[in-house]
Structure 1
Amino acid sequence: MLKDFLHDRLPFIVLIYLSTLITILVAVLLISFSGGEQSIQTYVYMLLLATLFLCAALFIDYARHRSFLKQLYTINPHSTSLDEIRKLTHRQAPTQTTKRMLDVIRTVDVHTHDQIIQYETDRKQHETFINQWVHHMKTPMSVISLLSQEGKHQTSDDDVQTFFNDIQDENDRFRHGLELMLQLARLDHFSLDFHAEPVELAQLLREVINEEKRQFIRRNLYPQIVEDTNQTMVYSDSKWLRTVIKQLMINAINYSHHGQGNRITCTIRQERESVSLFIQDSGIGIPTHDLPRVFEPFFTGDNGRKKTESTGMGLYLARTIANQLGHSLTIDSELERGTTVCLTFTSKTL
């Protein structure tokens, strides 16, 4: 603190000594021209006198700033709360310049605080609207699904059956989009909606597959679960984990080759300190140059041009939730050979 104080006043100190030396030089020349007797003690006395007044001035200036500087240097901007920093701006300023600077900081702080409050208000209103809209859309979506199933049961015409199947497919896409939107809206409140518990991984997989069984049947795909040991348990939040697995399963369904009887294999592998879940398809794959960016929000890559319904948010949501749960999510793919996604539960999350 004192070192910085003296450093800031270094030009002032240099100027004082420079002016004193010039004064002494002028005195030497005057005495020399007048033929008078010169005394080195006089010049030393003049220098000491200048130093004494300089020290007195610096001491008075430092005493005025000491209390303010002491509080300023106790603040760590990386770990101190904003309230502690704001207290500094309400202290009595040692100089008019400092007072002006603190007034500017207070004005900026109030303006920024008001903007943050307005932003939070707008964000909450938007989130409330999204949640209400999603829940309102679930009703017509369910009605469409029921009407489609009833229509299929009341006719045997193949064209009409195909028509109702197409409606159900589009309704499923609508449902997946709503679920994705709702989960993204809930990410901000993840910690408030988190409950860790033992989860049987294979059972959770069967439930997700059963929910999407119509997608498997319509696309002529066959899910398969391969488990090293029976009843592999992991420690996680079952609801959020279901969201991750469901999103990975939907991606595997969407990007598989449909109508060819291909398999989507879910392999549960128990290792010494971890459990890994591999979801593997033999679909269109992901180009190598797109792999580093597939977890970025809104990134669709080359496949997004082939699948126009791609949002680029599915894998982003899956990895974000996995990271929040303490799991890791990685992906490996080869173009036209398929994609393998690995969800790893380490010893920290078992």
Structure 2
Amino acid sequence: MSFIQFCRDRRFYSLFYIGNTLLILLVIKLALNEEGLFISNATIGYIGLLSVVSLALFLFADYIRQRPFFQELRQAKENVSLESLLKVKEGITNEQLAMIKLFGQAFEDYSTRLHTAQEQHSRSYHFANRWTHQMKTPLSVIRLILQEQDEWSKEVLVDQIEEEVGKLEDGLHMMLSTVRLQKFELDFSIERIALLSVIRSVLHGKRKTFIRYRIYPRLISEAEEVFAATDKKWLIFVLEQLIQNALKYSSTLAREPSKYITVRVEETDNGVTVSIQDEGIGIVAEDLPRVFDPFFTGENGRKLQESTGMGLYLVKQICDQLGHSITIESTVNEGTTVTLFIPPPSAYSTLLR
């Protein structure tokens, strides 16, 4: 900023100062006239000129004092980047100091948003890459089954193809949910739902998988129906993922066909607790703290080689968004219990439909 621009920005202040000086001189002259004293116009003009010169010197001194700030601001303007704004340090006035602070806050917010976006893009890229390779497996199996269909009975053939199609459907559902989760605030609605009916529907939808794996579902609740405040669509996705995991990791343990997956629902004044307990291979202790991390498959995932490491991550993200809590307890070769806690409806009083 040049000195002319600096003065132009303060023209109203300067005009007010000059006008106020002239008014004071006029009052002084009138007062002296009433007392019979005389002051010439030349003297008044000389006083006014001195006042204007003093104003000019003051503005020039103030410009010199603030010039380092203006120079840094000009350099930042030439570079046009947030990083260059952070180099502006020579603030003098409160406005300049507030501007410098605002630059720092804007850069911090920008850096946080950029880091979040980069992490989200990286997760999406790795998940899409892993998901694509995983989806190739069911397609390859279906193609192999069709090539060797003469060696299979019709019933077995259909059953095997249905199993692989189910894997494709689950994978597509997970991919769709991953995309929707990025705009979660636009795609959720808290409502009062019949929780036991929803759980029965999810278990019924997995009936063929239960039969195939020779596992029996059990739903335990002291009440005939339990109501909870949540988003029905997202809760169904959470339950499907948890039950699918229980089925997948229970089927790998060679036992007599007497294994169960038990869903227990308990209602208290503090909310509703849903626990899903399987009798599968369990999770090793060192893997438990990381089961909700993206792309973490752990020892079990490496054994099955079918895990994307995104199922429990998505479940945790959804629960956090809904205000639900989720915990996991597990013992190797005995089973795993996942506990989902849904707060009472009063916690969502402003969101309930």
TM-score, normalised relative to structure 1: 0.60
Query: What is the DSSP-based 3-state SS (H/G/I as helix, E as strand, rest coil) of the residue aligned with 1:226?
Result: strand
Unaligned runs of 5+ residues in structure 2 are 1-56, 86-106
Aligned-partner Cα distance in 2 for 1:210–1:342: 21
2:223 match? 229
Partner of 1:309: 306
Summarize the alignment of residues 129-208 of structure 1 with structure 2, pairs less than 5 Å apart.
159-208=153-202
2: CA distance, partners of 1:94 / 1:181? 51
Would you say 1:282 and 2:279 are equivalent positions? yes
Aligned letter for 1:253? L
Shift of 1:342: 0.4
Contact 2:188 2:231 in 1 (8 A): yes
Please state whether the residue corresponding to 1:255 is helix, strand or coil. helix
- Show the 5 A alignment for 1:1-350: 60-61=61-62, 64-65=65-66, 94-106=69-81, 159-256=153-250, 257=253, 260-347=257-344, 348-349=347-348
Q: What CA distance in whole angstroms lies between the structure 1 residues aligned with 2:248 and 2:338?
A: 14
Post-superposition shift, 1:212? 0.9
Are the counterparts in 1 of residues 76 and 84 from structure 2 also a CA contact under 8 Å? no
The offset of 1:280, in angstroms, is: 0.3
C-alpha displacement of 1:101 = 2.8
Structure with the bigger RCO (C-alpha within 8 Å, sep 6+) is: 2
Cα pair distance change 1:280/1:299, threshold 3 Å: same
Partner AA of 1:162 in structure 2: V
Percent identical pairs in the alignment equals 37
Report deviation, 1:107.
Answer: 7.3
Q: Deviations over 1:94-119 (max 9, x none)?
A: 53233113432447699x99xx8xx8
Post-superposition offset of 1:169: 1.3
Output the TM-score relative to the length of structure 2.
0.60
Which structure 1 segments of 5+ residues have no match?
1-55, 69-92
- Following the alignment from structure 2 to structure 1, what is the Cα–Cα distance between the partners of residues 303 and 258? 21
Q: What is the letter of the counterpart of residue 101 of structure 1?
A: A
Could you say what secondary structure the match of 1:291 adopts? helix
Shift of 1:172: 1.0
C-alpha change, 1:290 and 1:317, in structure 2 (3 Å) is: same
2:233 & 2:82 partners in 1: Cα distance?
A: 45
